[in-house]
Amino acid sequence: MTKDKILRVEQLSVTFTGGTKPVRAVDNVDLDVARGEVLALLGESGSGKSVTLRSILRLHNEKRTRIDGRIIADGTDVTLLDGDALSRFRGKTVSMVFQEPMLALDPVYTVGRQINEAIRRHESVSQDTARTRALHLFERVRIPSPERRLDSYPHEMSGGMRQRAMIALALACSPKVLLADEPTTALDATVQVQILLLLRDLQRELGLSMIFVTHDIGVAVEVADRVAVMYAGRIVELGPVRDVLRTPRHPYTVGLLSTRAHGGRLSGNRLPTIPGSPPDLTNLPAGCAFAPRCSSVTESCRTKAPEARAVGAGHTVRCILQHPTVGPK
């Protein structure tokens, strides 16, 4: 039986129009997330991962952004919301953990007050009830001395503790979908593991659906059920995490996997790299956007953008070659 889809993104395109040339940062993206499922968005910086997440919450400057397509979250078309309806949607239906909590949290209010206000904005509860809920959230995300930390300002907390507080804020109104935008990138390695394990445990405990943006393949393996690989604003490969990582079919996915250090490599050896740089989104090539960097490119690759085609159960790829290379073991 097919799982119910809590979130569907259909033919999503996002174009920024504020510069001298329009920038098409997301190009005809289709993806969905089932209830209780974790989807990892994987790719280099600038591939469109964070833009996709922010579009789901309509966080872009609407005067300088054009969004085409549909975003259906728990039966609601987000592209049609405005005003109070959009405010009620944010945090209650879909919530987000940002990459840098110091920028996401308001520096002039205590963290506890910010969580209290989020709860009271969506629910008719007293100040005391909201504080009790905030305290419970701090305990759930394992912040030490939680009652004292409720009265702390963001700058009085360590990076790892701020990220835990950011997670508590994101969960304050019991959202159905959690968006996590590289939530461990700004943290040191030890704290990264702690936050990653915390998010995984909370997702399973609460039955959350989640989209987890990362450029770290190891993170995708740990948290995701499926993985979508993005390049130049497009999903170039999508499928179950084991299928995509064990038998990648797109040359870009193969390149990403080959650049990862793993136990089979001898220390001192140089890691392979993907030649070249990501394309200029204001001047994309006519064919496959990855063609200028691809070692298997053909003339056909340069003339027509490939359509997504099935290469396995739930496994699709945008490549006319359907690349057969098996990833590193």
pLDDT in tens, 304-316: 889 999 999 999 9
> Which pLDDT belongs to residue 329?
35
Residue 325's pLDDT is: 42
State residue 235 phi and psi, 5-degree precision. -80, 115
**Residue linked to tokens 């998010």:** 199
Whether 235 contacts 30, CB under 8 Å: yes
Q: What is the tally of structural domains in the chain? A: 2
| Domain region containing 150 | 104-174
Asked if residue 106 has pLDDT above 50, the reply is yes
Its sign, for the CA torsion 87, 92, 96, 101, is positive
Same-domain status, 212 and 306? yes
Whether pLDDT at 208 is above 90: yes
Domain stop point among 174, 189, 219: 174
Considering the domain boundaries, does residue 298 fall inside one? yes
Helices (H), the chain: 49-56, 83-92, 101-104, 111-122, 127-140, 146-149, 159-171, 189-206, 217-223, 241-246, 251-258
In a domain, 23, yes or no: yes
Would 322 be classed as within a structural domain?
A: no
Closest CA to 43 of 255, 243, 284: 255
CA atoms within 13 A on the CB side of 125: 19
Q: What is the pLDDT of residue 33?
A: 97
Any domain includes 230: yes
- Segment 178-197 shows an average pLDDT of 87
Same domain, 84 and 115: no
167 and 188: one domain?
no
Q: Which two tokens stand for residue 161?
A: 């503790």
CB-based contacts of 61, cutoff 8 Å, min separation 6: 18
Over the Cα atoms of the chain, what is R_g? 21
Confidence at residue 228, expressed as pLDDT on a 0 to 100 scale = 97
pLDDT confidence band for 68 (50 / 70 / 90)? very high
Percent of the chain with pLDDT over 70: 95
| Structural domain includes residue 99 | no
Residue 200 belongs to a domain with what CATH number?
3.40.50.300
Q: Are residues 194 and 281 in the same domain?
A: yes
Distances (CA, A) of 276 to 23, 197, 236, 279, 306: 20, 35, 18, 9, 21
Entry pTM = 0.90
245-287, pLDDT tens digit by residue? 899 999 999 998 887 755 455 566 777 788 888 899 988 888 9
212-233 pLDDT, tens digit per residue, is: 998 888 888 888 999 999 999 9
Q: Contact at 8 Å (CB) between 56 and 94?
A: yes
Residue 295 has pLDDT above 50, yes or no: yes
Mean pLDDT of the chain: 90
> What pLDDT is recorded for position 323?
47
| Same domain for 277 and 217 | yes
Query: Is 323 within a domain?
Result: no
The closest alpha carbon to 49, from 215, 224, 213, 256, belongs to 213
**Strand pairing class (226-231; 38-42):** parallel
pLDDT at 267: 61
